[in-house]
Each structure stands twice: as structure tokens, then as C-alpha cells.
Amino acid sequence: MTESKAENVGQSAYQKLLDDLPRTGPGSRGGEMLRRYWHPVCLSANLTDIPIAVRMLCEDLVVFRDGKGRPGLLGIHCPHRLASLEYGQVREDGLMCSYHGWRYDTQGRCIDQPLEPRDSDLKSKIRHLWYPVEEWGGVIWTYMGSEKENPPPLQKIDVLARTDGDVKLVDGDVRNYNYLNWMENFADMGHAVVLHGLQIRDVPEELKPYNDYSIKNWTPLPLEHVETEFGMKTVAVLDTGDPEVKFVNTWSMAMPIHWRFSGIRSGFPPDFTDERQEGGGMIRIIDDTHFELIRYNLFRNGNFPGPIVFGLPPGLKGTTEKKAHDKRPYSGWEGVPALEDLVLQESQGDIPERRLEHLGTSDRGVIMMRRIWHKSIEDVATGKDPKGVERKQNGMLEVDTFHGHVKVNELKIGPENMPSSRDGQGLIRDKEGKLVFGEPS
Ligand code: FES
Ligand SMILES: [Fe+2]
């Protein structure tokens, strides 16, 4: 069988995209795209008086505060004889290598070489690898792109900027696979019905009709994927056992590392209690096959009864019984959505062999996401800003999400309950109060 030339061209272009997509290192097309955005390095609270080794986008670095409290990010190996600056000493004006005392400021300038002759100009010839750092919202951020001398302003994150509740940041959930396995999960909403069952455990009898995945028109899922100025979102409006009540679920992604799920949450009938929390998180990309999740949530005073837990606590176990003959790494994993996601994402491979996939109609979100990533990679390759890069000062990433039950044409989810929404854009109702998908025109 012969293949047409056009097919060959198309396939090789797609293969090229699949090769580029998961790459995060310097000089790779994926990595160059990622370097056009600000990235989290660590939480402010964790950076005290000791330098911390940190691998970012395949580069081994050290983050520290100088004696004045100013954060800095340098290459980890001292340019003298390559000792690790992880063991360096914090000084008033920078970080001193413990081996022979060479000292660096936060911009990588070498400001002392105590063993060199007084009149040596060697230190003026040394400029160590450095990246600009900003501290905002409880997070140390860096920009690792070619514009590092004059980077675009740090884009603020709506949830972290809020003052009408308690913002909680949780780090430390490190995964051993490519960051896109995680991000694609947010474009792939169908998995929620199969993998998680969308079943809330211990739901009271009277609320079961609203949490009933036996309702036939949930499959295929009525999903809408919407490209946004910051990335994309997926919205599902699902029937419940009560024709008046819908279950709405929104997942959003902001290029290239932010996700939102369970933003403003409305609980069950009859009062549709507003749970008064908004949240999501971001990825610290370590390298092609490792990343760390940094979750952020805003908790406001409200009538949600709590307790609220989020994240993946260490040692988390599924709810199913582990059989003695089950030797799989995560046996007994079923029953906890966060653990279910981890198991299945990791099982795809540290960098999945995506050319072996067979995508179907339910993968429209994944396909949209790849188009968005592809466009961003191409934009960077041709000297343009990729999607979501904000050049204006004090830019704010505003992502609205909603999760929960709504009574058709009665409950209004207005801007007052969705403070992160910009001009009502993306609300789940139109101006007449009818449920809508995505952005009203
Ligand atoms: S190796 Fe760092 S000062 Fe010599
Ligand atoms: Fe999931």
C-alpha cells in the first residue's frame, strides 16, 4: 500500500510535534517555549538561611537568600572548581562557595576571590549562570528565557492575589513522569466519569439522585472545549436525577503550567451551598520526566461545613483491599481520585509514546490542547510571544472555574461569587440566566 505524499508530510509534522511537546531543556523547542513564562522555584517560606539545590527545566541550580533577604538563583556548580553551591555560605551581599571562598551576588557577578592576588582581575572575568527572581504571593519565581536581562513582568495569579480569605500553598508532590501527562488530564474530562466515577462516598440517601452516574445521557459526555486567552477550558453540564438540577464541572488550564479545578463550588440542593473555596495549582517543571505540584487554594468564610482537604498526602492509600497476589506497584489504589490520577498518568510512561495512541471523539480536548501548545512552540520559534505572555505591568492571570450543582434558571452564579471572572466572561450562564458553555458572545 502506498501512502500519499501529503499524508507523509502531515504525519511527519505531527510526529515532530509529539517529539517537541514534552521537551523542557534548553535548546529544545518545547523548552524554549516554556522559558517564555515565569515559573515557580519554591515557596517563600521554605527559603530561609540555607541554599537549596533545585533542578528547573533540566538545569541544576541553587536558590538562596543573601544576608539582606534578597532571593537569587544561580547555577549549582561554582565556576571555580565546580563544588556545589548547595553547600555555600550565605553572606550579606551574596553566596560564598565553601571550597575556596569565591562569592557571587544574585546576578552571578563574582565579588570576591580571597585566595587570588589582591591585584588580580580574574573575578571581573567571571559571570556565573544566573536567572532573575521575584518573590510574590508566597512563591519565589524565575524567568529562564533569553530575555532574562529584561523579562516581561511577572504575571500575578488571581487566587494568590486575593485578600478575602486564607490562601494556602502546598508543595512537595513530586511526580516521576512528564508534566504533560498531568496537564493533558485536564483536557481529558471523560476520564472523570470512568476512572473516578464522579461518585462521592457516603452521600446521604436524599442526595443520591444528584450524584448518580447511572444516568444514561452522561455518556458520551456532553463536553465543550473552549480556547481562552490564557489557555483552554472544558465545561460539562450533566443531568441529574432531578430535571431541574444540573451538575456543572469546569476544568481550566493556563499556559503552560497552571490548572484550575473545583474553583467556586456549589454544593447540593436544596440550598446549593457555596463552599467558598477557589483553587488549582501550578507545576514546577524539574526536567522531562519529573515535576512537582504546587497547589493553591483560597478558603473564604462561608457556610461550607468542611473539613476541606486537598492534595496528595504522603502515604495516601486507596480504599480497595490489597490482594496478597497483587504485585502491581499501586495495588489497592482505587477510590481516591487524586491517587487514581497519579496511577494512570504514571502508567502512560514517563514520556508516553504518543504516536501509538488512537485518539477518538472523546479526545477533542487533548487535540485542542496540543494545537495550543503547537501554536505556542511555533510562535516562540518565529520570535513571537506565545499564548498568555503578558507584557503589561501588574498583569493578572484570571481564571474562572465552577464545580457543583445549579438549579436551572434559578440559582445565579454571578460575578460576586466568581470574583476571578473578568467581566462575566466564561460564566456558565448567559445574560438571560440560561446555562451556557464557555464564553458568552
Ligand atoms: S570551587 Fe568554589 S571557590 Fe573553589
Ligand atoms: Fe482525574
Mapped to the 3 state alphabet, what secondary structure does 239-277 carry? ECCCCCEEEEEEEEEECCCEEEECCEEECCCCCCCECCE
- Mean per-residue pLDDT pooled into runs of 10, the chain (441 residues): 51 89 98 98 98 98 97 98 98 97 98 96 97 98 96 91 85 96 93 74 72 72 83 84 82 93 69 68 98 89 53 70 86 83 95 95 95 97 94 79 72 45 48 45 37
Residue 75: count other Cβ atoms within 10 Å of its Cβ: 18
d(CA 123, CA 181): 44
pLDDT for 1 = 40
Q: Are residues 98 and 181 in the same domain?
A: no
d(CA 278, CA 7): 45
148 located within any domain: no
16 located within any domain: no
**Final residue belonging to a domain, choices 116, 143, 170:** 143
In ligand 1, the atom with minimum distance to the C-alpha of 85 is 2
In ligand 1, the atom with minimum distance to the C-alpha of 101 is 3
pLDDT for 200 = 53
406 lines ligand 1 (CB under 6 A): no
81 lines ligand 1 (CB under 6 A): yes
78 lines ligand 1 (CB under 6 A): yes
Domain count, the chain: 2
d(CA 285, CA 307): 30
Residue nearest to atom 1 of ligand 1 (CA): 81
In ligand 1, the atom with minimum distance to the C-alpha of 83 is 1
85 lines ligand 1 (CB under 6 A): no
**Final residue belonging to a domain, choices 94, 115, 143:** 143
Cβ atoms of 49 and 398 within 8 Å: the answer is: no
DSSP 33-57: HHTTSEEEEEEGGG-SSS-EEEEET
Which ligand is nearest the CA of 82, by number? 1
Cβ atoms of 336 and 319 within 8 Å: the answer is: yes
Q: Are residues 119 and 162 in the same domain?
A: no
Cα 140 to ligand 1 centre (Å): 26
427 located within any domain: no
Nearest Cα to Cα of residue 196 among 261, 116, 122, 260: 261
99 lines ligand 1 (CB under 6 A): yes
Nearest Cα to Cα of residue 41 among 29, 51, 28: 51
329 located within any domain: yes
229 located within any domain: yes
Q: Are residues 139 and 191 in the same domain?
A: no
Cβ atoms of 278 and 266 within 8 Å: the answer is: no
Residue nearest to atom 4 of ligand 1 (CA): 100
319 located within any domain: yes
Q: Are residues 378 and 256 in the same domain?
A: yes
**Cell numbers 573575578: residue:** 123
What residues pack around ion ligand 2 (CB closer than 5 A)? 341
Cα 183 to ligand 2 centre (Å): 11
d(CA 381, CA 377): 6
Q: Are residues 51 and 182 in the same domain?
A: no
137 located within any domain: yes
Q: Are residues 268 and 378 in the same domain?
A: yes
Residues 6+ apart with CB under 8 A from 311: 170, 173, 293, 295, 338
Cα 138 to ligand 2 centre (Å): 27
> Mutate which of 84, 85, 97 to test ligand 1's pocket (most atoms within 8 Å of Cβ)?
97
pLDDT for 408 = 67
83 lines ligand 1 (CB under 6 A): yes
Residue 39 has which C-alpha cell? 515559573
Q: Are residues 318 and 397 in the same domain?
A: yes
Residue nearest to atom 3 of ligand 1 (CA): 100
Residue 329: which domain range? 156-410
272 lines ligand 1 (CB under 6 A): no
pLDDT for 205 = 79
Residues 6+ apart with CB under 8 A from 340: 195, 196, 318, 333, 334
122 lines ligand 1 (CB under 6 A): no
**CATH code: domain of residue 48:** 2.102.10.10
Q: Are residues 139 and 161 in the same domain?
A: no
pLDDT for 236 = 81
Q: Are residues 174 and 89 in the same domain?
A: no
d(CA 156, CA 390): 10
Q: Are residues 161 and 136 in the same domain?
A: no
pLDDT for 206 = 77
Q: Are residues 182 and 122 in the same domain?
A: no
247 lines ligand 1 (CB under 6 A): no
Cα 43 to ligand 1 centre (Å): 28
103 lines ligand 1 (CB under 6 A): no
Query: Residue 425, SS3?
Result: coil
Residue 104 pairs with which residues in a beta bridge?
A: 95, 110
Q: Are residues 223 and 135 in the same domain?
A: no
**CATH code: domain of residue 254:** 3.90.380
C-alpha 133, offset from chain centre: 19
Which ligand is nearest the CA of 126, by number? 1
**Final residue belonging to a domain, choices 118, 143, 168:** 143
261 located within any domain: yes
Query: Residue 278, SS3?
Result: strand
